[in-house]
Amino acid sequence: MKFMSALFTAGILAATVSCNNTPEEKKQPEITVPVVKITQADWGNIEGTPVHLYTLTNQKGTTVTITNYGGIVTSFVTKDKQGVASSIVVGFDSLAPYLQSPPYFGAIIGRYGNRIGNAKFSIGKQGYTLAANNGKNHLHGGIKGFDKVIWQAAPLEDSIASLTLSYLSKDGEEGYPGNLQVTVKYTLTDDDELAIAYDATTDKPTPVNLTNHSYFNLTGDTKETILNHKLQISADAYTPVDNTLIPTGEIRAVKGTPFDFTSPQTIGSRMDSVPGGYDHNWVLNRTGAGLQKIASVSDSVSGRELEVSTTEPGLQFYTGNFLDGKFINHTGTKVNLHTALTLETQHYPDSPNKKNFPTTILQPGEKYHTETVYKVSLTK
């Protein structure tokens, strides 16, 4: 496939032939120029290795941009109820901010999304020690997790645009056992769905818990907080945490607590009752192994709604409690406290150390496969 970004832009949807509408003349047939569904642009380099930015476009003009550095979703541009287009994910216009160790904006997280207590775990009688990069705990794959590596990219323009990213995490990388071959496929559908499929295989037993860490603000501008967004999560229980955000092992009912989002609730309405804000895992109400809608969040100002479907058993909802204004969004505004949220589909935190949690250990000969879909629409 040849990329034609010099000839077309992702926003070109159609061109028509004009004619004089006289009674004697018949209208000329409309000529449609096909959408260029995926383009590639140079985006710098890291230690001599090229970094690229890929733009996926659907028939509605919605775009998603992804870089092969960290598999980062740098923008997800949709129209609001006024027809104004803006990105619903926090991101930056150049590679440089992502090299400053930002808090995982838009990135693929692995090998293990979320925390592992005391940066240690065992498989059978064999113990493993990981980097303690979050106090005494291990967070999001370590010092150089999947968010900080350059992935091999394979763009595909067929009926819809997709981008497949591949990475080999070698045995011993960040302390994890086994050579882990990973692929992550991003697809933008004409229904404004960003579908993400994760696949992995290993040659030794190893924990695997892959997710995406996009920060959402449905207003399209981090001048606004997410505290007035309304959230619903299909979960009757969550996993309480200690003061270092490691699950205690208890699975507790949400009923009667600020963690009850079984019906739509304004995020900020009860957050004062949660010290530090929300940064917890919800135990999803699953009815089968396939994709299932498990959460939705909406914003009355923009009219946007985001639906989340997944095959995963857990959802980490985080309200940007550590955002401090250090970074500037696409819009030129600071990314301050509570100006973005994450909805990370995953297995539970610290599962390798919690026997009552669903296992995250991938065995040789097994295939890891999970799917998540983020769908944007306008509320009626």
Catalytically active residues, by annotation: 213, 344
Place of tokens 């985001």: 306
- The distance of Cα 102 from the centroid of its chain, to the nearest Å, equals 15
- What distances in angstroms separate CA 136 from CA 115, 130, 176, 180, 239, one per listed residue? 10, 10, 17, 25, 20
For 28, residues 6+ apart whose C-beta sits below 8 A from its C-beta are 17, 19
Distance CA 8, CA 39 (A): 9
Nearest to 58 by CA among 342, 295, 293, 376: 376
Tokens of 68: 């092969």
Answer for the pair 182, 116: CB distance below 8 angstroms, yes or no: no
The rounded radius of gyration (Å) of the Cα atoms in the chain is: 22
Q: How many residues does the chain have?
A: 380
Nearest to 205 by CA among 183, 182, 180: 180
Answer for the pair 12, 6: CB distance below 8 angstroms, yes or no: no
Q: Residue 238 region, left (φ>0) first, then alpha (ψ -120 to 50), else beta?
A: beta
Distance CA 58, CA 48 (A): 33
Distance CA 216, CA 375 (A): 12
